[in-house]
Structure 1
Amino acid sequence: MPPWSAVAALFGLLTAAGAAPPASEVRALDAELAALEEAPPDGVPRESVVTLRYYLQLATELPGRHPQAAQRFWRLAQRMAETLRAGTDPFADARGLIVRGYRSALSTKLQGYSIFLADGFDPAQDHPLIVLLHGGSSNHHLFLNVVLGNNVPWATYSANLWTEYRPGWQPPAHWILAAAHGFGQAMWRWAGEQDVFDLIADVSRVLRVDPDRVFLNGISNGGVGTWTIGFRHAWRFAGVLPMAGAPSWKRYDGSALRPDEDLLLSAWSAEDLAANGANTFLRFFHGDLDRGPMKPEFVFAMERRLRAEEVPYVFTRFADMGHDIIYACHRRGRLLEELDAVRRDRRPARVRLVSADYRAARQHWVEVAEFADYPVLARVEAAVAGGRVTVTTEQVRRLRLYVEDIPVPDGGADLVVDGATVLRLPAGAPPVPLVLERGADGWAPAVYGPRPGPRKVPGLSGPLPDMHYEPVLHVYGTDVPEETEAMRGAAERAANNWILWIWDHDQRVVADTEVTEEDLRDRTLVLFGTFRNNSLLRRMAPGLPIEIGEAGIRVGEHRFDAADAGVRLIAPNPLSPSRYVVVQAGNTAEAAVAGNQLPDFLPDFVVYDRRTTAERERLVARRHPPLTAGFFDTSWRLRDGAGEPVGEAGRRR
């Protein structure tokens, strides 16, 4: 064959390998799998069918930047579908690195994660699980490959997100390694945090996971996530192992914060929540030469807080290393071997809880059922000793105790709360939580569940980012035709990037005329528009805690009627009170659109103008303050003084 023919043939092979899979064939296979997802063959987990549909999603999305990966997932889906049609789980004997998918309530897209099962893995046994959180520019697939010894230069991450690698080392056969996606670069907040727990649940449905041997480990942004999730939910993990991450969002941001911003970031900062880690194995790693945003002094401050709170820890400090410490931490599997003996303590004699968030209000057998105010940083100390269960509280109105997990001695114990004996706890109590409420005469047993009346409760408490845990529908106004396109564009942008740098987070967008009763019942609605152009906003306006009308926006005694003024708020939906509504409205269409420039951490409401939204600030309003902002009270009403100007923006420390 002449040389030019050989080149042409090779080019043809490469082109075929990188071509997009045939769209009609992908659609046909997906339709078949959709039916099988509804009624899987006997012996085939629904999760396996969903994973094949995730492969088809990747085959459709990846051809532009990762054409070979698109073809790989297309071929995998075709081959595994044949196995599935025969009534066999195509993943039953899969070993090595396996990409899996699951259906998230938070996005119309399927979400993915990667696991590694070594040769010799026994599916009949219970296994420890380590959940791995990637850093910036990475994804679940690449990060698991990096952990397994493939030293991919950071500058090439984006080109290698889906590149196939061989593992540089084999994990012990009894371990499950699972790398989360976390909706890309959400830095493991809100939807990113939920993704971690959805991954654990999905893996636990298809493999036997020992719930007392679940570990959390991540680097850089994933180190931040490990600190954050690991201390918000310390009781759920046997061990928390951050690498090269910042333990405090307040230090990471570096701004002089308003009080509402300080509280918002405290709820996510391990340094403020340090006491939560008292019963969880903690080992953290950092390089003294780390010159990036994850500064060593942040970790030194955390170490001081841990000492002050008497929380045990192991700090592995690399004097001659910078940010890239992953291989020094994992050491080709030795880290996993060292974790083999670590177990979660399900029934500790002493429990400490710090929280400012209903989503993270439990540690072991203690839970804040209702905060005295919300949000506020609440604290609970509980201990079993000397025939007593002694509990002290700060900023708590209702307390929930999971009595079956309290190590009550055989003879029973007196329950003493804030210095007063409430009742006698028997040994071997049934698995029914005990709810206590603080009244005028002290603490007393109360009925299970929230108190009646409109009030902030778990899942309906704010602040604004709390919507990111919920299924969401974005609704744009259509009553002013010349503004409809701008409203639709604002809704579409918000549907996939209200959390800056988030990936694979697509949500439905509809016109105000298309919202159904099912949508009102089942979803958080986000309304975009003005009082004039959004008919659904007009229906809800009388029931909102902030006045939005023809005359402008009114917060308490303060009116904001400038053309560039807008508001974003979260509240119970007046048409469906068990669901949120989020409103992004302006006195003009332009002002409503501009609200998409607000930063990530926001209280219950923010009133802004063109100066606030001149540029998109990432975390808080450092340079461009809102006109006013704040939290509603525990009954979703305006607090005294609401609407007062917030003052100048914070300045860099």
Structure 2
Amino acid sequence: MTIKRVLPVLILLLTTTAVLADGLGDNDPKSVRPVPRVGVEVPDEDRAALEAGLKQLRGQLDKLAASKTPAVRELLPDIEIYHRAVADALAYNEFFSPGDIKKGHDLLGIGQARATQLAAGKAPWTRQRGLVVRGYVSRIDRTVQPYGLVIPESYNFNSGRRHRLDIWFHGRGETLSEVNFVHQRARNAGAYTPRQTIVLHPYGRYSNAFKFAGEVDVLESWEDVKQKYQVDSRRTSVRGFSMGGAACWQFAVHYADRWFAANPGAGFSETPEFLKFFQKETLNPTWYEKKLWHWYDCTDWAINLYHCPTVAYSGELDIQKQAADIMEAALEAEGIDMVHVIGPETKHRIHPDSKIEIDRRLQNLGRRGRESYPLHVELATWTLKYNRMHWLTIEGLGEHWSRARVTADVVGRSRLELSTKNITGMKFSFSSGHSPFDILRQVTVVVDGQELAAPRPRSDRSWFCRLTKRKDGWRVGGRAGGHGAGLRKRHDLQGPIDDAFMDSFLFVRPTGKPLNEKTGEWVQSELKRAIVHWRKQFRGHARVKKDTEVTDEDIKGANLVLWGDPQSNKLLARVVDRLPLTWGEGQLHVTEKGFDASHHMPVMIYPNPLNNSRYVVLNSSFTYREYAYLNNARQVPMLPDWAIVDLTTPPGTQWPGKITAAGFFDEKWRVRR
């Protein structure tokens, strides 16, 4: 084993042995294999037994759900995961081998046993050490999602002692159904089981590199674990290999202040160079695709690793070594010397000697824990989706998907110095007892050379300050996000379309007659596809209501995905006059250019006029399609805030039709002219 610190990426690309895992056959959008593949035929005898077992377990769950004991109802997801895993595999033909069918029988037995125990007032799995499988209900679509745990033998359920937590991201698995994941997590502890450490294995909603709803699954399962176990929030790390290594890079740069360390192995760390090198793909992206690559291109966020100690790993002969090498180059450009552990003469696996070295380094970092209130902060972002680093939060950008950067330094006991780029609003928040400033002295803030008088710390040693930027410079106070009234892009309300599916959403089905027959047929086809592919790719069941059934509670609590047009969808008719488009039977306008409404349809995301804390989306689900399922690096946003689709070109594996116009709204949600 060696530790490589600096190696030019070009040399690596010339010397690495090429091994195509996904294959050149996956580079043709006109010939796309199904992901996941179709399962095997279930024999009649097995089907009957599985259906009987599901019926029995559903009856047990229904009785438990009627319990008046909150503790009983809170544990239902730990049982529901078994029912849903088998029910979906049976309903959607996702037993991929005869062995999977046997696993289905086994899982039903475990679920029934847990239900029997809970009915008797017992839940032994909640105090079980070793391998444990549990579940939670996701806010996104209200489906139960599973996760696995490794609880160390040293864990004391009667003690308040908090434990280190490692989050481990699994690799790509096109047959990783819920049945296979739950079965695996009850039998396989994984690559690393450090002493006195809880290991969380999130499902990530299948095989999407833990992006979008998969990203939220990690955050939700992590939160669930923190509620149920004694976890040390200062000693949580992210780790993964292959596709899991890609996820690790993403979580490290987007949430750098939450981890004491990151340990990515193999995988990919950005889209364009990886696809050209690994997949041998010729790329012809649109201008907005290039901008949206910034979302998950970790090289663009490298400086954030200033706050996250990183130990990268690659096999010396692994083609996916490219991921760490290109990150190493990006970090070198920021002045950071990346530790890169190399497994000698090793292809796509973790070398045993490297594991020892990696564990040693993470043990040292774990003892130290993450820093909570550093005096120096670095933050780069391209979107308000990821806008926080420790005590500093960016509240407004000059322009989304252009690089924003802030460097902040606490100087002495009464001075804060900042330099910024592409930022219009910031806030600083030190909680009680953590202000670095003298409570008897006014704080001076110097931002981009401009000196401002800021408030003193409070008596509890907390400190809060907001800065907003106007045409004539910075000022203390003001409106979050910048000067001016009306709508503004802000955290979790900044687009693009895919962002709507990282929180609670509801598909709203039209019940009226469409303005045009062709557009009506397209809407019904795309809605049907959206429901099917949400389950296939994000392993949930999209909630669907007719436009006549949507309640005030739905408007308050969910992003509304409105399918149809102002004539066919009653809810769309209520809001269309407050959306940035003009839509009639003959013409459709977003910009000054008009489009024939008989064969053009808009897709769009915008703050809901009925509830500005939520989105409305027009005629779209997540925007990448079947071609992207073949390689996780392709699973990136394909459309910006709005687009016009020409339906004379049929939907395909990349687009819902021909995209004739598309763009981003500005920071006030206005159409760019």
TM over 0.5: yes
Select the residue among 92, 96, 105 that pairs with 1:71: 105
Partner in structure 1 of residue 640 of structure 2 = 603
Distance 1:191 1:84, change over 3 A: same
Compare 326-335 and 356-365 and name the one that shifted more: 326-335
What is the root-mean-square deviation of aligned Cα atoms in Å? Answer: 3.6
**Letter in structure 1 aligned against 2:140:** L
Give, in angstroms, the shift of residue 512 of structure 1.
2.2
Compare 449-458 and 129-138 and name the one that shifted more: 449-458
**Letter in structure 2 aligned against 1:567:** P
Q: Distance in 2 between matches of 1:438 and 1:159?
A: 49
Partner in structure 2 of residue 252 of structure 1 = 274
Q: Distance in 2 between matches of 1:172 and 1:159?
A: 22
Partner in structure 1 of residue 659 of structure 2 = 626
Q: Distance in 2 between matches of 1:593 and 1:117?
A: 35
- The secondary structure found in structure 1 opposite 2:538 is coil
The answer to whether the aligner puts 1:196 opposite 2:218 as a matched pair is yes
Partner in structure 1 of residue 302 of structure 2 = 274
Select the residue among 378, 384, 387 that pairs with 1:352: 378
Q: Is the 8 A contact 1:570 1:582 kept in 2?
A: yes
The answer to whether the aligner puts 1:217 opposite 2:251 as a matched pair is no
Give, in angstroms, the shift of residue 494 of structure 1.
1.2
Deviations 1:591-616 (A, max 9, x none): x9999789743210111225776532
Q: Distance in 2 between matches of 1:555 and 1:448?
A: 29
Q: Is the 8 A contact 2:343 2:354 kept in 1?
A: no
**Letter in structure 1 aligned against 2:378:** R
Partner in structure 1 of residue 85 of structure 2 = 58
**Letter in structure 1 aligned against 2:510:** G
**Letter in structure 2 aligned against 1:358:** L
**Letter in structure 1 aligned against 2:672:** R
Q: Is the 8 A contact 2:241 2:267 kept in 1?
A: yes
Distance 1:228 1:328, change over 3 A: farther
Q: Distance in 2 between matches of 1:326 and 1:18?
A: 44
Q: Distance in 1 between matches of 2:86 and 2:523?
A: 32
Select the residue among 285, 291, 311 that pairs with 1:263: 291
Partner in structure 1 of residue 29 of structure 2 = none
Q: Is the 8 A contact 2:394 2:427 kept in 1?
A: yes
Report % sequence identity. 27
Compare 368-377 and 330-339 and name the one that shifted more: 330-339
Q: Is the 8 A contact 1:133 1:179 kept in 2?
A: yes
Give, in angstroms, the shift of residue 458 of structure 1.
2.0
Q: Is the 8 A contact 1:140 1:181 kept in 2?
A: no
Give, in angstroms, the shift of residue 379 of structure 1.
0.7
- The secondary structure found in structure 2 opposite 1:195 is helix
The answer to whether the aligner puts 1:446 opposite 2:487 as a matched pair is no
The answer to whether the aligner puts 1:470 opposite 2:503 as a matched pair is yes
Give, in angstroms, the shift of residue 544 of structure 1.
1.3
* Residues 261-340 of structure 1 mapped to structure 2, 5 A cutoff: 261-291=289-319, 294=320, 296-325=321-350, 330-331=355-356, 334=359, 337=363, 339-340=365-366
Give, in angstroms, the shift of residue 432 of structure 1.
5.4
- The secondary structure found in structure 1 opposite 2:594 is strand
Q: Distance in 1 between matches of 2:110 and 2:263?
A: 34
Q: Distance in 2 between matches of 1:302 and 1:401?
A: 29
- The secondary structure found in structure 2 opposite 1:264 is helix
* Residues 495-514 of structure 1 mapped to structure 2, 5 A cutoff: 495-497=531-533, 502-514=537-549
Q: Which sections of structure 1, spanning at least 5 residues, go unmatched? A: 1-11, 143-156, 586-591, 641-653
Deviations 1:54-79 (A, max 9, x none): 23323433456233333333333333
* Residues 28-43 of structure 1 mapped to structure 2, 5 A cutoff: 28-36=59-67, 39-41=69-71
Q: Is the 8 A contact 1:378 1:394 kept in 2?
A: yes
- The secondary structure found in structure 2 opposite 1:73 is helix
Q: Distance in 1 between matches of 2:345 and 2:329?
A: 22
Q: Of the two structures, which has the highest relative contact order with CA contacts closer than 8 Å and spacing of 6 or more?
A: 2
Distance 1:575 1:170, change over 3 A: closer
Partner in structure 1 of residue 163 of structure 2 = 127
Partner in structure 2 of residue 575 of structure 1 = 610
Partner in structure 1 of residue 15 of structure 2 = none
- The secondary structure found in structure 2 opposite 1:76 is helix
Q: Distance in 2 between matches of 1:610 and 1:475?
A: 21
**Letter in structure 2 aligned against 1:31:** D
The answer to whether the aligner puts 1:397 opposite 2:424 as a matched pair is yes
Q: Which sections of structure 2, spanning at least 5 residues, go unmatched? A: 1-42, 277-282, 629-636
**Letter in structure 1 aligned against 2:334:** E
User: Normalised by the size of structure 1, how large is the TM-score?
Assistant: 0.82
Q: Distance in 1 between matches of 2:335 and 2:529?
A: 46
- The secondary structure found in structure 2 opposite 1:633 is coil
Q: Distance in 2 between matches of 1:168 and 1:267?
A: 29
Q: Distance in 1 between matches of 2:623 and 2:115?
A: 46
**Letter in structure 1 aligned against 2:646:** D
Distance 1:564 1:169, change over 3 A: closer
Give, in angstroms, the shift of residue 409 of structure 1.
6.7
Distance 1:399 1:288, change over 3 A: same
Q: Distance in 1 between matches of 2:168 and 2:181?
A: 21
Distance 1:138 1:325, change over 3 A: farther
Q: Distance in 2 between matches of 1:202 and 1:89?
A: 17
Q: Distance in 2 between matches of 1:416 and 1:82?
A: 64
Partner in structure 2 of residue 423 of structure 1 = 453
Give, in angstroms, the shift of residue 302 of structure 1.
1.7
Q: Distance in 2 between matches of 1:297 and 1:73?
A: 39
**Letter in structure 2 aligned against 1:515:** V
Distance 1:575 1:159, change over 3 A: closer
Distance 1:361 1:333, change over 3 A: closer
Q: Is the 8 A contact 2:582 2:589 kept in 1?
A: yes
Q: Is the 8 A contact 1:490 1:596 kept in 2?
A: no
Distance 1:50 1:498, change over 3 A: closer
Select the residue among 539, 542, 545 that pairs with 2:574: 539
Partner in structure 2 of residue 103 of structure 1 = 137
Deviations 1:167-207 (A, max 9, x none): 58983441101111111122222211111111111000000
The answer to whether the aligner puts 1:383 opposite 2:414 as a matched pair is no
User: Normalised by the size of structure 2, how large is the TM-score?
Assistant: 0.79
Q: Distance in 2 between matches of 1:279 and 1:530?
A: 47
Distance 1:512 1:19, change over 3 A: closer
Q: Is the 8 A contact 1:99 1:141 kept in 2?
A: no
